[in-house]
Homo-oligomer: A and B are copies of this chain.
Amino acid sequence: MTSAPPRETGKDGPAPDAGSLSRAGDLFQLLRDGRARTRAELALTTGLARSTVASRIDALMLSGLVGPAGEASSSGGRPPSRFAFNPAARVVLAVDVGATHVIVAVTDLGGKVLAEQRLPQLVSDGPETVLERVVEEGRRLLAEAGRSLEELAGVGIGLPGPVEHDTGRPVKPPIMPGWDGFDVVRFVQRSLPVPVLVDNDVNIMALGERTAHWPEHDNFLFIKVATGIGAGIISSGQLQRGANGTAGDLGHVRVPRGDDVLCRCGNYGCLEALASGPAIARELREGGVDAETGSGVLKLVASGNPQAVHALRQAGRDIGDVLATVVNLLNPSVIVIGGSIGQAGENLVAGIREVVYRRSLPLATSHLRIGLSMAGDQAAVLGASHLVIQHVLSPSVIESTLQAAG
Report chain B residues within 8 Å CB of A49. Answer: 13-16, 18-19
Is A404 an interface residue when CB atoms closer than 8 A count as contact? no
Residues of B within 8 A of A250 (CB): 328-329
| Mask of A151-194 contacts with B, CB within 8 angstroms, 1/0 | 00000000000100000000110000000000000000000000
Q: How many angstroms from the CA of A12 to the CA of B240 in the assembled complex?
A: 47
> Is there a chain B Cβ closer than 8 Å to A252's Cβ?
yes
Taking a contact as CB atoms closer than 8 A, the residue among B6, B171, B241, B366 that contacts A244 in the complex is B366
Q: Are B252 and A328 in contact (CB under 8 A)?
A: yes
Contact of A9 (CB < 8 Å), options: B6, B43, B80, B328? B43
Q: In the bound complex, how far is the Cα of B363 from the Cα of A265, in angstroms? A: 12
* CB contact between A171 and one of B1, B248, B363 (< 8 Å): that residue: B363
Q: A38 an interface residue at 8 Å Cβ cutoff? A: yes
Q: Which of A7, A18, A172, A330 has the most CB of B within 10 A?
A: A330
Do A359 and B6 touch across chains, with their CB atoms under 8 A apart?
no
A40 at the binding interface (Cβ < 8 Å): yes
Q: Return 27 A-B CB contacts under 8 Å, by A number.
A: A1-B33, A1-B35, A6-B80, A7-B40, A12-B51, A14-B43, A14-B47, A16-B51, A16-B52, A19-B49, A22-B47, A231-B329, A236-B240, A236-B241, A241-B331, A242-B332, A243-B367, A244-B364, A244-B366, A244-B367, A245-B331, A246-B328, A247-B329, A249-B328, A253-B324, A253-B329, A325-B326
Q: What 17 additional pairs, Cβ within 8 angstroms, besides A246-B328, A246-B361?
A: A1-B30, A2-B45, A6-B38, A13-B49, A14-B43, A16-B49, A162-B363, A233-B329, A235-B238, A235-B240, A235-B247, A243-B332, A244-B333, A244-B363, A254-B324, A322-B325, A325-B326
